[in-house]
Structures are given as C-alpha cells and as structure tokens.
Chains A and B, each alone.
Chain A
C-alpha cells in the first residue's frame, strides 16, 4: 500500500469555465502536517474538495494512500469554516459530533449507546465534556470549531482536511488549536492538510506547504521563512507558480 497522497496532472473547472486548477501535481507523505496557502479564488477549497472526493478532476488522477477518492466516510475527516454550517438549527453539541458517524447510522434506527460514548470521549478530548447537551449555537466561535474538529475525528480518520479552521478566531485560540492538531498528528498518526491565511503561526509546526494559485507548488517551511524575512510573502510564490 502506497504511503503517500499523490496528485498527477489534475485539472478542474466549474461548469466548463476557465480552470480553477490546471495541471496540478504534488506528493504528500503519510502522517505529515501540511498547510495550504494562496490567494482567495486560487483553488484551495476546490483542492480540498477533490481530496475529500466531493468533486472529481476533469483530467488527471488522485491517489490517497493507494486508493482513489472518496475514501471510506470514516477514513476522511473534514472541518469546514464554522460559518459554513447552519447554526440556526437547534442541535446539541453531541448531535453535531455524531454527524461524523452518519455512515454507521442504521437505516431504521438511531445511534447506539456506543456511538454516544464515543462522541462523549471525543468531546472530552477537546475539553468540552460539560457542553455535551448544550446548544451548538450557544458556543463561542472557538468552541464551535473544536466541536467540528471532534466531529471530523470521531471516525478516527487517516486523513484530516481543515478549511480555514481559524478564520474569525482570536490569536490565542488559534495557537491552542494548532497545538491540538500537532498532538493529534503525533498520537493518531493522522495526515493533516489545513487551509490557512495566517501562515506565520503554522510555520514551526508544519512539514510542508502547498502554495495554491491555479496550480500548486510545494514549498518547505524553511524556504517560506526566508520570504518572510525579506518581506516577500506571496508575490514570489505566486509568480513562480503561475502556469
């Protein structure tokens, strides 16, 4: 079984318009922590969708540890921006976390005690044990994001995808979240791919950076540090990665 995530010459466009991603190829080692950066509209979320199996490339292929996406529902965890969920629906924190086990929900039944125990265990992991029966909408932005991470982790996935999980969060909560993800990566041997605009606080923690701007360039964190030192963040990467 291949121990990498491989993308070979993938291109993707919405409704036959100009391609969002063009001739993209990269390789990611298993169990690594990867940051995805790039300008708005550059194709970061599209690339996450392709890796999650929510979209299919027009051309080229993706291999996730030797398999074609989508992986089994419990093998991939997805954390959206917390504004992407419908917070006006009355739903408890436990119910949200159980959303990560929907594929195990029996057709004519409800979640079992084991499922609930597992949800409570993951809520304990993220430090929200006392919030099990609270309304999701009553939580703070940081707490909501942690609940969505617990939902992504409950299936114990081999691949965790996070789409700007720290957007709208304070700097200290962001720090806390990144430390938590590093622990997850080490303890659970999970491959993590995270989209972020705030790369500074991630640099010391990630193994690889994907710069996405129509195409994808892989950058070592150290190389990006040099760009920061010169005050050249983004433009050099964008120029170099232009098709």
Chain B
C-alpha cells in the first residue's frame, strides 16, 4: 500500500483527480444551477468521435497525426460551437439538436474504433477511464486547461451568475449575453475533456453534475457552492480511488459509484430544497 502511495502512478492519479475536481466545482456548479446538463451530456459523449478518429488514423497511417486528447479537445470545441450557435438556452429545437450532436459523435467514434485493430482495449480505456495510465504530457495539458477555466471564471463569474439568474435583466444592462453564453459552453467543453481523463466518457456527467448537486445544499452563494463542490469532488474521488486499489476494481467506475451513493444520501435534501 505504502509503495503504491509513493509511486509516480499514484501521484499522477491524485493530480488528475485534483484537476478534475476543480473543473467539476467551477463549471459543474454553473451546469447544475443553470439546468443545462443536457448540453454537458451532449458534448461529453460526442468526444468519442475525435478520439476514435485519432486512434483510427494512428493505426492506419502508422504514425500519430494528433493525440486522442487533442482529438477529444477539437471535437468538444466543435460541439460547443454548434451548441452555442443555437443562441440561447431555451431554443425550441435544443433537445433534438443536442441529442443529434450526442449520437453523431458517439456513432462516429464507435465506427472508427470498429475499424481499428485491438479496438476493445482502447475503447474501454476511454469509456471507463483509467487515470493510473495518464502520461506527464497529458497531465500538463489538463493543468493548462484547468488554469484556462479558472482564469475565465475569475473574470466573468459575476456576469455568468447574473445571466443565469435573470436573462432579461442582463439584456437590459447590455451584457454581451451571446458572447458569454458561447464562453460558458466553451468552458463546459474544456471541463468534460478533463473529466473524461479522470473517470471516462460514460461517467463524465456523474462527476460534472452530482458533486455540485451535493455542494448546493445549504450554499448561499455560487462561490460557496463551488468551493464545497471542489472539496466533495476531490474527497469522494480519492475515496473511490482507494477502494478501487484495495479491491482491485475499475477506478473510474468505483469513483462514479462512490459519488452516486453519497448523492443518494443527500438526494432527499435536494428534492426538498
């Protein structure tokens, strides 16, 4: 156990969880409070398209044109651009369009994977996540993405909160609502890429939505909700990592299970509140 705790593998995993918790706390709080979880779900599942294309081209050409992480990032940005072009959060065709982006990315990804030799291993790696095998380069890029998110949140937090609270007032006060909406979708895209590396595509939504839902209980301000969420998210995923190591379970799934169980403990409070 002590050997594992002092290994670079564990330290990398711990850093990834810390970065994922920061993204979950900052951006997940907006997603939950503004009730735009379908947007996050759509972007997170569409990532598989970019990852599949990256692996397919690497195997076909014999060299890496772009990494799966870059593939995921480009897909996330493309999806966020498409979603943001809907202009507002209450567009009447929003649901079907988000579902189309969701299924387009997922379907393309599965087709690319099916045409790639030994696709089963890679596919489960990205769907369920495996933070124990994250490289130093990937960790550096995730850190960069997190810092970018933190910077934008520090700069535009007040405006995001006011737009979410009362869009009409934001328009009256001549806030650049469309631009800020696009920026928020872009930040969601960056967050899902980070979370994908922590828990995998299938459980990204778990980490983006459930810790903020727990953090919102009794929170008076968004800042308080974000702070609580970061703490909960890190503690719960750390506990999940420990359980996975002790009982030899998949890390992403165990983290997802830990977070989900605590959510159900807190759920009655949420439903009531």
Contacts and interface: CB of A to CB of B under 8 A. Distances in A.
Contacts, number: 82
A92 B174 contact: no
B170 interface: yes
Most buried by B among A54, A89, A96, A101: A89
B172 A88 contact: no
A101 to B, nearest CB: 8
B225 A90 contact: yes
The secondary structure that dominates the B interface is: helix
Contacts of B224: 90
Contacts of B165: 85-86, 89, 91, 96, 99
Contacts of A100: 169, 173
Interface in B133-189: 155, 158-159, 161-162, 164-166, 168-175
B185 to A, nearest CB: 18
Using C-beta atoms within 8 Å of the partner chain, give the interface range for chain B.
Answer: 20 to 34
B213 to A, nearest CB: 11
A231 to B, nearest CB: 37
A88 B212 CA distance: 13
B220 interface: yes
A89 B33 contact: yes
Nearest to B215: A90
Contacts of B220: 90, 92, 133-135
A101 B162 CA distance: 11
Using C-beta atoms within 8 Å of the partner chain, give the interface range for chain A.
Answer: 20 to 34
A100 to B, nearest CB: 8
Contact of B166 (A85, A88, A103): A85
A127 B172 CA distance: 26
Nearest to B169: A99
A54 B33 contact: no
A92 B219 CA distance: 10
Contacts of A146: none
B118 interface: no
A28 B219 CA distance: 45
Interface in B43-78: none
A134 B219 CA distance: 10
Interface string B104-127: 000000000000000000000000
B155 A99 contact: no
Most buried by A among B35, B171, B225: B171
A90 B33 contact: yes
Contacts of B170: 99, 102
B222 A73 contact: no
Interface string B215-233: 0100111101100000000
B264 interface: no
A76 B173 CA distance: 9
Contact of B172 (A54, A108, A111): A54
Given A102-B170, A135-B220, A108 B155 contact: yes
Interface in A98-121: 98-103, 105, 108, 110-111
A16 B256 CA distance: 49
B245 interface: no
B216 A78 contact: no
B225 to A, nearest CB: 5
B34 A89 contact: yes
A54 B171 contact: yes
Given A70-B172, A73-B174, A103-B173, A86 B164 contact: yes
A110 B173 CA distance: 16
B216 A90 contact: yes
Top 5 A-B pairs, shortest CB-CB distance: A102-B173, A135-B220, A90-B219, A85-B166, A103-B173
14 contacts: A53-B172, A54-B171, A78-B169, A80-B168, A84-B166, A90-B221, A90-B224, A92-B221, A99-B173, A101-B173, A102-B173, A105-B158, A110-B158, A135-B221
Interface of B: 33-35, 155, 158-159, 161-162, 164-166, 168-175, 216, 219-222, 224-225
